[in-house]
Amino acid sequence: MINQRRRSQTTLAVGSRGRLCFFSPNLYPVTAQTGIEFAGGTELRQWALARGLASRGFDVSVATCDFGQEAVVSRAGVTLLRTFSVHAGFPVLRFFYPRLWKSLGTLREADADVYLANGSGLAPGWAYDAARLSGSQFVYLASSDGDALPSLPWATKRRERWWYLRALRGADARIAQTEVQRRLFRENFGVETEVIPNPVEVPPAPVDPGQNDVVLWLSTYKPTKRPEWFTELARRLPQFRFVMVGFPPAAMVKDSWHPAQRAATESPNLEVHGFVDHTRTSEFLRKAGLFVLTSPVEGFPMSLLEAWSYGIPSVTTVDPGDTVRRHQLGEVVTELDDLVNAVASMMSSPTKRREVGARARSYVEQHHGPDCTHEPLAALLDRVIERRRQRVERLLDAG
């Protein structure tokens, strides 16, 4: 039924540049705005790309998990196709049914010219298989520097690594977020990538980081994001206000969420908030004078880009593509003591925060707007789709 609907939509889409299907299991909550508690930077990026490509003449769909929505939902010119529920099925067996079975079935019924997926887990592997089974193309998008490291820190299971590496090596095109990622993919896996920055919307007016007095952390409460570094900041710098906002995964409430809550009871200058719908994050960004990122490994964090788009300077433990240092967008540190010192210094200088924040907003406007993100991706997809068309024509001629 989904296939029939998609073919009908394609028939009506006069002048479509081609059919695209993203495989993003956790994307639906980002589009729903109904309080479903999940929001990740990867999904925000995919949703921005999907909408941008749809507005540029592509017929775009996203295969995403079952969160209780209808089988086919349309939002912002993008068709959302329901796959499986993470709660359905029996342990062990549910990997094959409903997860693998329904994912591949929905992807194939999308009838796409090009399938796209992010990260170093099962998603790119399954999207790659759907593309090959359908005679379509597959485009891979990196989500993190970890995707390009031999250790593959985010692919913890053998089957995840196997599916991911097949997709990475067999992809018809690959997209890195930074030049550093491009170099790592070449050196560690012998594959070439094209660098296309992440898109981010720039609000009409910046904040005044020199007047604002909040140090903001916006992430996920899990050990890989090191929220305990931020709570320690609040403990060591009682003269400043600290605010944490993030999604607490159920499996990690004891490791990160509960400790953060306890820290808030011990530090009067620390506010700890749980899940907030992405449409409300601007409420916190508009009050921030400084943004702090505590993760040890990232790609190009969407939260960092969003902070910069508001004109908020940063102190961060990662420097994506050496961007912070090259463009002087804040401070980069690797040790907790250095983080404390850098935050204290920045918060003690309103003038410096204004100057650095202005550079940050200017950088985003110049490097992460539609001309630098959506347009080059659309051009790459045009080339990939044209190669597919030529291949199909050759097969038809040979037959």
Selection from 327, 78, 302, 309 nearest residue 197 by Cα: 302
Does any domain span residue 238? Answer: yes
Does any domain span residue 207? Answer: no
Q: How far apart are CA 273 and CA 230, in angstroms?
A: 13
% of the chain exceeding 90 in pLDDT: 80
Does any domain span residue 114? Answer: yes
Which long-range contacts (C-beta less than 8 Å, at least 24 apart) are formed by 283-286?
A: 284/214, 284/216, 284/218, 284/243, 284/245, 285/207, 285/216, 285/218, 285/310, 285/312, 286/207, 286/212, 286/310
CATH number at 78 reads: 3.40.50.2000
pLDDT of residue 389: 85
pLDDT of residue 35: 62
Q: How far apart are CA 146 and CA 350, in angstroms?
A: 35
Residues 193 and 235 in one domain: no
| DSSP 8-state class, residue 84 | -
Residues 234 and 178 in one domain: no
Which range has the worst mean pLDDT, 2-11, 20-29, 221-230, 336-345?
A: 2-11
Q: How far apart are CA 119 and CA 161, in angstroms?
A: 11
Does any domain span residue 293? Answer: yes
Which range has the worst mean pLDDT, 182-196, 239-253, 309-323?
A: 239-253
List the domain range (segments joined by +) for residue 192. 2-7+16-199+371-398
Does any domain span residue 329? Answer: yes
Inter-residue contact 120 to 155 (CB < 8 Å): yes
Residues 231 and 162 in one domain: no
Residues 322 and 245 in one domain: yes
**pLDDT interval class at 257 (50, 70, 90):** very high
Does any domain span residue 206? Answer: no
Residues 232 and 357 in one domain: yes
Answer yes or no: is pLDDT of 1 > 70. Answer: no
Residues 189 and 41 in one domain: yes
Number of domains in the chain: 2
**How distant, in Å, are the alpha carbons of 47, 76, 198, 279, 387 from that of 201?**
12, 15, 10, 12, 32
Residues 41 and 120 in one domain: yes
Residues 335 and 378 in one domain: no
Residues 45 and 88 in one domain: yes
Residues 36 and 54 in one domain: yes
pLDDT of residue 392: 79
Give residue-wise pLDDT tens across range 352-383. 999 999 999 999 999 999 999 999 999 999 99
Residues 375 and 359 in one domain: no
**pLDDT interval class at 38 (50, 70, 90):** low
Mean pLDDT confidence for 219-243 = 96
Residues 143 and 192 in one domain: yes
Give residue-wise pLDDT tens across range 153-180. 989 899 999 999 999 999 999 999 999 9
